[in-house]
């Protein structure tokens, strides 16, 4: 039938006259088929101009909106050994309920009366502090008494010095009087001797004057001795003042030194009391950690350390718990190419695993079994899978999410972008171009201020 032979059969053999050829090559079949092709072409051409919503698909899973509502592992801040379990996997617990009891494995905490004995040590040290306070007060009183006594002793010594100075003045005056008397006595003696030589006075008168002169000389010498003694008393009084000053300075300094030593011991005891109180509080808090309690209302997921008597280190996970009161969200991932198209407040359609859905990505209004979501957070750094993490919350304007969904199950997301004709979307897909970049209404460019 290709007519490549030099003996063409179509010129020698005619197909007309056969029943089969009459049925196949009937003109009515061509007419209906041509109408079908024409209608299909017109319908396809019209469809090309129908609106199509550009979208970004992503795969993710269900999570919680707030970090404190996500599954967590209850850890022990201290090392220990499991003694007793109070719950089972799947149980519902309230905040503060006891989950398990542990015991110590460190030797320094084995004493069951450790807290009480630490309290006794605190009381003993507090009594020591009180004793040192009393000693400090006594030494302060002693210092005040010594200061008062020194003041009185100095006043007494100063009075004695003043008396000695006055006595020196008195003796000086008496010495001058004695010198005057001896001058008079010498003159009288010389006059009597002269008169006696002239025969006007008797020898007895001369002897009386000589005796009086000698008495006056003796008084002069005695008065000089008294003056020297008085001056010596002045020196002694001055030395006494210096001695009292030095003696009481030494006593006061020693008393103050003892007081500072007592204060140092008092401060040291107070520091030890503070340290013991810190240990007491730590021991109390550590003893409270022997009972592992639920941090919030939730369900026990899995016991990580299960056996009785099993030991663990500090910070080791003991049991997993899922909070009861949670706000569901979807965590999805988009490629770096599509990230600039995601904005806060963007509307997203979500299909949950286990919930049958008929999805028309370009016509979301006729999609069945999908639920509305809204972008509430976009991660600033790329994840380990090479995509950016986007957090979706339920759309308040759409119907509520199913109550039976659980955190951790899969979800497929469909971010709705700009409405374009179908021919444009086909052309974009064939050329591998990204969806149209656009800004949502109300978004403003943030200029950088220098």
Q: What is the pLDDT of residues 380-427, one digit of tens each?
A: 898 888 899 999 999 988 888 888 888 888 898 888 777 888 888 888
Residue 446: predicted pLDDT: 44
Identify the domain boundary among 236, 271, 288: 288
Residue 59: predicted pLDDT: 87
**236 with 249, same domain?**
yes
Residue 358: predicted pLDDT: 61
Mean pLDDT of 280-299: 91
- Sheet order of strands, 92-93 included: 72-75, 317-323, 298-303, 92-93
Indicate the pLDDT class of residue 14, thresholds 50, 70 and 90.
Answer: low
Residue 446 in any domain: the answer is: no
Residue 442 in any domain: the answer is: no
Indicate the pLDDT class of residue 321, thresholds 50, 70 and 90.
Answer: very high
**254 with 131, same domain?**
yes
Residue 436 in any domain: the answer is: no
Residue 394 in any domain: the answer is: yes
pLDDT digits (tens, 9 = 90+) for 60-70: 899 999 888 88
The residue range of the domain holding 267 is 114-288
Residue 360: predicted pLDDT: 57
**151 with 262, same domain?**
yes
Residue 349 in any domain: the answer is: yes
Largest CA distance in the chain: 226
**311 with 369, same domain?**
no
299: domain CATH number is: 2.40.50.100
pLDDT for 39 beyond 50: yes
220: domain CATH number is: 1.10.287.620
Indicate the pLDDT class of residue 79, thresholds 50, 70 and 90.
Answer: very high
CB 314 within 8 A of CB 77: yes
**240 with 280, same domain?**
yes
**30 with 164, same domain?**
no
- The pTM of this model reads 0.58
**275 with 355, same domain?**
no
pLDDT digits (tens, 9 = 90+) for 197-227: 777 777 777 778 778 878 888 888 888 888 8
Give Cα separations from 106 to 79, 260, 278, 310 (angstroms).
Answer: 8, 41, 19, 14
Percent residues over pLDDT 90 in the chain: 21
The Cα–Cα gap between 322 and 89 comes to 11
Residue 440 in any domain: the answer is: no
Question: Which residues, including other chains, have CB under 8 Å from residue 353's CB and lie 6 or more apart?
Answer: 409, 410, 411
Residue 439 in any domain: the answer is: no
**181 with 258, same domain?**
yes
**337 with 364, same domain?**
yes
User: Total domain count for the chain?
Assistant: 4
Least confidently predicted of 297-306, 337-346, 365-374: 365-374
pLDDT digits (tens, 9 = 90+) for 124-176: 988 988 998 998 999 899 989 989 988 888 888 888 888 888 888 888 888 88
Mean pLDDT of 239-254: 89
Residue 316 in any domain: the answer is: yes
**136 with 243, same domain?**
yes
The Cα–Cα gap between 129 and 123 comes to 10
Percent residues over pLDDT 70 in the chain: 86
**256 with 389, same domain?**
no
Indicate the pLDDT class of residue 430, thresholds 50, 70 and 90.
Answer: confident
**251 with 172, same domain?**
yes
Indicate the pLDDT class of residue 450, thresholds 50, 70 and 90.
Answer: very low
Indicate the pLDDT class of residue 366, thresholds 50, 70 and 90.
Answer: low
């Amino acid at each position: 039938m290709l007519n490549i032979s030099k003996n063409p059969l179509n010129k020698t053999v005619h197909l007309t006259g056969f029943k089969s050829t009459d049925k196949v090559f009937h003109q009515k079949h061509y007419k209906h088929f041509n109408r079908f092709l024409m209608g299909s072409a017109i319908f396809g051409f019209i469809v090309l101009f129908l609106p199509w919503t550009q979208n970004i698909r992503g795969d993710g899973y269900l999570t919680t909106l707030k970090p404190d509502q996500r599954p967590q592992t209850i850890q022990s801040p201290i090392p220990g050994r499991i003694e007793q379990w109070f719950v089972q996997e799947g149980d519902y617990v309230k905040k503060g309920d006891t989950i398990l009891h542990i015991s110590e494995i460190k030797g320094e905490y084995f004493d069951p009366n450790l807290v009480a004995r630490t309290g006794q040590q605190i009381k003993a040290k507090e009594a020591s502090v009180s004793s040192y306070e009393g000693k400090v007060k006594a030494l302060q009183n002693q210092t005040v008494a010594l200061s008062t006594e020194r003041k009185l002793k100095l006043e007494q010594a100063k009075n004695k010095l003043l008396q000695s100075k006055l006595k020196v003045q008195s003796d000086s005056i008496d010495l001058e009087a004695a010198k005057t008397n001896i001058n008079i006595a010498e003159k009288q003696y010389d006059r009597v001797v002269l008169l006696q030589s002239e025969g006007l006075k008797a020898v007895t008168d001369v002897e009386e004057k000589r005796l009086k002169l000698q008495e006056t000389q003796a008084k002069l010498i005695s008065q000089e001795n008294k003056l020297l003694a008085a001056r010596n008393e002045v020196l002694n009084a001055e030395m006494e003042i210096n001695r009292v000053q030095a003696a009481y300075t030494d006593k006061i300094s020693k008393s103050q030194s003892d007081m500072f030593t007592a204060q140092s011991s008092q401060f040291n005891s107070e520091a030890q009391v503070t340290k013991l109180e810190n240990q007491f509080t730590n021991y109390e808090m550590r003893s409270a950690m022997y009972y592992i309690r639920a941090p919030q209302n939730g369900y026990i997921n899995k016991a990580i350390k299960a056996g009785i008597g099993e030991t663990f280190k500090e910070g080791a996970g003991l049991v997993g718990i899922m909070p009861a009161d949670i706000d569901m969200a979807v965590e999805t991932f988009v490629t770096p190419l599509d990230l600039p198209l995601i904005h806060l407040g963007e509307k997203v359609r979500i299909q949950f695993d286990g919930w049958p859905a008929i999805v028309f990505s370009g016509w979301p209004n006729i999609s069945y079994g999908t639920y509305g979501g809204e972008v509430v957070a976009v991660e600033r750094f790329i994840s380990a899978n090479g995509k950016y993490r986007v957090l979706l919350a339920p759309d308040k304007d759409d119907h509520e999410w199913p109550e039976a969904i659980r955190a951790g199950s899969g979800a497929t997301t469909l971010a709705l972008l700009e409405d374009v004709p179908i021919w444009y979307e086909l052309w974009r897909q064939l050329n591998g171009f990204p969806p149209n970049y656009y800004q949502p209404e109300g978004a403003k460019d943030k200029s950088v201020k220098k």
